[in-house]
Amino acid sequence: MSVKTAGLILTTLMAAQGQGIAQVSPAPAAPKPAAPAPSFIPTSFNPPVLVEGTGFKLVPLGPEVVKLDFDAYMSSIEHLQKTFSRSTRWPHPGITDADAMKDMEGEQARFKSRKSFAYAVLTPDGRRERGSVYVSPSPVPGYDAVVRMWVTQADYDAGFDAELYKWVADWVKTDWPFAKVAYPGRAIDWATWDAAIAANAPRKAGS
């Protein structure tokens, strides 16, 4: 075989290989992982984990206080259904220990992931829960956050509800990075708040 012939054969083989490669479709690019939802607080802000007031202290809700939390809301079922949840769904007599622990684990997970921040309002010695405070993203535009709270029937009757609300409003204004905070059922009446939520709820297809 002459050198010329060998070169021709080699050139033909290379061209055929090139055509074969060109016919193979490249593998599709792997989808990019979804970016995590932005937190409603700055990354530089560390939510407090212990705050002391006069006659009470705040600590994050979690498994460590599950019994105290359970005893608090179960002592005031009717009161909380009327003043806080405005529903018989919570609290109700059928809540089990497992339900209570699942709720506390969920609150703890949301606190750690910076999605929302729930606090138990304890007596200074930590032996009893007087209520809870929740700091969450606002479902209504125009507010940086929404803050809700409740106290037990006994503490409500003793006037602690108004005291806690005033203290929390000052605490959030001073220590949290929000410019405008909604306090439904307090600074904003429930009817107005419910209407604002309904007006901003996503519409279903065809509606």
The per-residue pLDDT for range 77-112, each reduced to its tens digit, is 999 999 999 999 999 999 999 999 999 999 999 999
CB 149 within 8 A of CB 163: no
pLDDT of amino acid 202: 82
Partner residues linked to 147 by β-bridges: 135
Structure tokens at 166: 């005033």
State the amino acid at position 102 in one-letter form.
K
Residues of the chain with pLDDT under 50: 3-10, 12-16, 18-24
Mean residue pLDDT across the chain: 87
- State the pLDDT at residue 130: 98
pLDDT at 31 (0 to 100): 57
Neighbours of 101 (CB within 10 A): 14
Residues whose CB falls within 8 Å of the CB of residue 51, separated by 6 or more in sequence, listed in order = 57, 58, 119, 171, 175
